[in-house]
Amino acid sequence: MRALKLSKKDEIKLYDVLKEFGEVWAPVPKGSKYVYGKIEKKEDLVIHEECILPIIPVKKFLMPPDFTMLKFTPSKYSIPEEDIPTTVVVGVPACDIHAVNILDKFYTTDYVDNYYMKRRERLIIIGKSGTPRENCFCHKSNTSIVEEGYDLFFFDLGDYYLVWVGSEKGDDIVRKGADIFSEEVPKDVSKKFVEFRRNRNKSYINDVDLEGVTDLMELMYDAPFWDEFGEKCLSCGQCTMVCPTCTCFNVIDDLALSGETGERRRYWDSCMFKDYSLVAGQHNFRESKAERLKLWYTHKLKAFIGHFGSPSCVGCGRCIETCPVDINVVTVVEKMKG
């Protein structure tokens, strides 16, 4: 990994370099939120000073919300040809890169998901560190700093960006943009970098205490507050859809009206939905909303650690912003800690 400099005056040229590698996507405003949108011209590529967190995370590029796995007739089936473009996503915060690293573990450790891998190989990540948002608590989840999983990573140090090169693809981008990326990093870069990190760390507002939460999930699994949350929960599934590490999906065979042809589709699902744990005979393993909430938070804060070595909550705060009845990591931890 090496460090380079990108001058702010050359920032406008970055788009022309990146589009040589594929479609360029970046956070763009949509109403009061941000989404990842395709950038069609260089003037629209904005690298924000603050941390911009699109409401639907990077996972949408890796696992589409709905796609066709195969088409079939009574005698044969065919797999649709997919034209998956290389996608360059700019401005990805550190916590979301941690989320992609978690998805990489999930989809490749026990069973390799080829649908995921095809898209992962065509994804280029340009990370960006910025001023944290109000609901962000990645400093508590140890995800405010990232050392792998990106191709380039930018730090805004005033009149230039400090650029870390994290992969061969990142190095290829630097070579293509040799006229804007410079190895002549200013001598005071270390001082500016330390000052940037210090000021950013002071900017966090959300001070949730995650110490000991893994053990508390076990000790308070039958605590009465789960029923309180269950009474409030709408089972809308918004928390799972915006969570950057949620992986649940369903597979259905969608038949044409004639019953002769059809297609097998895979789409995002949610363990918050009542039918998620429904099995043959109409038995439901988690019929109550309290049980479904416990499943989700146990997975995020405890079970994932036992299998993969780290929690699957990256502190992005999307669940805080999205849940209409104030059920999220912070309120659950507060209940567990009294």
Cα 64 vs. chain centroid, distance in angstroms? 13
Q: Give bridge partners of residue 261 from the DSSP assignment.
A: none
Which parts of 56-208 are beta strand (E)?
66-72, 77-78, 87-92, 123-129, 152-156, 160-165, 181-182
Beta bridge partners of 67: 266
pLDDT of residue 49: 84
| Stated pTM of the model | 0.94
d(CA 133, CA 33): 13
Please give the pLDDT value at position 282.
Answer: 86
User: If you average pLDDT over every residue of the chain, what do you get?
Assistant: 93
Read off the pLDDT band of 284 (50, 70, 90).
confident
pLDDT for the residue 306: 86
